[in-house]
């Protein structure tokens, strides 16, 4: 089935470039990508679910042809949630499921907490809940070390450095986490054609993607005098998710260790978890059939 592409203008002035498949008016599935990805990473899943669902994967604000505001404040959760809530409203008002990975998952956690009426269920792929992420960043030196790259992405010159020499600093985000390692189940998925798809996304600019990191206080201290994390308090309204939630966690994710799942049920009462040993952060690329099976499981619950 062919993938449609279109630009969706939202009432609050943001436009999202979208990829979609399936019949308009069918039950809605929405897919949210992470960094440094784009909506195209979901294409195989869109075509799988299209015979039964209307499937839409937007490029998040700041990515590809979607609106990319210059102000860092424009990437705070309330604005990102407003984008996806407006997209869902434009497609009928409620999604059968919201499926999200990495930064898309951060948006999805916030939407499920703040506007649960928008979605019937939530499927998260390797994206930490803000409550457990804050705990691990504060208390676990291993998590602070694993998340150290976030402070590089907050540098004012980060997007320029990432774009240099055919994005030579971006490819290691994949290559060091299993993309080219035959030991992992999806070894070798970063083919020339997939690289070309990533270049097509990145050539539109990288500032938007970096602004997600700049706008978030959930990152390791930038130095010994940085007390932002120690002073941070997240309101209960942003932490409690009462939507039925299925979490798929690739356990070989070097940036997001499985300890982030500990205590998750305190924030998400209607929770199920599937752990995948050996899979990395890029499980959507590595094991798309497994991701499809887990979404099917969530939809049937």
Residue 187: the pLDDT is 56
Residue 145: the pLDDT is 94
Q: Is the Cα dihedral 177, 183, 188, 189 positive or negative? A: negative
Contact 95, 70 (CB under 8 A): no
Domain 4-300 sits in CATH at 3.40.50.1820
Tokens of 59: 């490029």
CA dist list (Å): 59 to 6, 68, 105, 293? 11, 11, 13, 24
Rounded-to-integer distance, Cα 207 and Cα 118, Å: 29
CA dist list (Å): 142 to 80, 101, 139, 148, 169? 29, 22, 9, 10, 23
Using DSSP, how many helices (H) and how many strands (E) does the chain show?
Answer: 13, 8
Rounded-to-integer distance, Cα 5 and Cα 208, Å: 21
Residue 186: the pLDDT is 45
SS3 category, 209: helix
Rounded-to-integer distance, Cα 36 and Cα 163, Å: 12
Residue 226: the pLDDT is 86
Per-position pLDDT tens, the chain of length 301: 689 999 999 999 999 999 999 999 999 999 999 999 999 999 999 999 999 999 999 999 999 999 999 999 999 999 999 999 999 999 999 999 999 999 999 999 999 999 999 999 999 999 999 999 999 999 999 999 999 999 999 999 999 999 999 999 999 999 776 554 444 444 589 999 999 999 999 999 999 999 999 999 999 998 888 888 888 999 888 899 999 999 999 999 999 999 999 999 999 999 999 999 999 999 999 999 999 999 999 999 8
> Residue 156 burial by CB count (10 A; 0-12/13-18/19+): exposed, middle or buried?
exposed
Residue 225: the pLDDT is 82
Provide DSSP, 243-277: S-EEEEEETT-SSS-GGGGTTGGGT-SSEEEEEET
SS3 category, 238: helix
Residue 136, H or E segment: helix 130-139
User: According to DSSP H, which parts of the chain are helical?
Assistant: 43-49, 77-90, 103-114, 130-139, 141-146, 149-153, 158-167, 171-175, 192-202, 207-215, 228-231, 283-286, 288-300
Tokens of 146: 């694993």
Residue 185: the pLDDT is 43
Tokens of 212: 């997600």
Contact 234, 130 (CB under 8 A): yes
Backbone angles phi, psi at 7, to 5 degrees: -105, 130
């Amino acid at each position: 089935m062919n993938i449609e592409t279109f630009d969706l203008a939202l009432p609050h002035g943001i436009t999202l470039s979208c990829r979609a498949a399936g019949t308009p008016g069918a039950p809605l599935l929405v897919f949210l990508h992470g960094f440094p990805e784009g909506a195209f990473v979901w294409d195989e899943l869109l075509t799988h679910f299209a015979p039964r669902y209307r499937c839409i994967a937007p490029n998040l604000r700041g990515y590809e042809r979607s609106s990319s505001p210059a102000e860092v404040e424009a990437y705070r959760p309330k604005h990102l949630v407003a984008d996806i809530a407006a997209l869902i409203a434009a497609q009928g008002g409620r999604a059968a499921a919201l499926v999200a990975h990495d930064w898309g998952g951060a948006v999805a956690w916030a939407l499920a907490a703040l506007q649960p009426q928008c979605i019937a269920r939530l499927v998260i792929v390797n994206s930490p809940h803000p409550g457990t992420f804050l705990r691990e960043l504060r208390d676990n030196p291993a998590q602070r070390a694993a998340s150290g790259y976030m402070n590089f992405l907050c540098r004012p010159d980060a997007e320029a450095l990432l774009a240099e020499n055919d994005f030579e600093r971006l490819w290691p985000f994949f290559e060091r986490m299993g993309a080219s390692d035959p030991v992992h189940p999806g070894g070798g998925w970063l083919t020339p054609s997939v690289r070309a798809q990533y270049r097509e996304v990145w050539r539109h600019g990288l500032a938007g993607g970096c602004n997600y990191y700049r706008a978030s206080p959930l990152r390791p201290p930038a130095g010994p005098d940085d007390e932002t994390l120690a002073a941070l308090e997240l309101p209960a309204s942003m932490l409690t998710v009462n939507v039925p939630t299925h979490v798929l966690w690739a356990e070989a994710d070097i940036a997001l260790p499985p300890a982030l799942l500990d205590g998750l049920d305190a924030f998400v009462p209607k929770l199920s978890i599937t752990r995948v040993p050996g899979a990395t952060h890029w499980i959507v690329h590595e094991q798309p059939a497994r991701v499809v099976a887990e979404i099917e499981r969530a939809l049937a619950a």
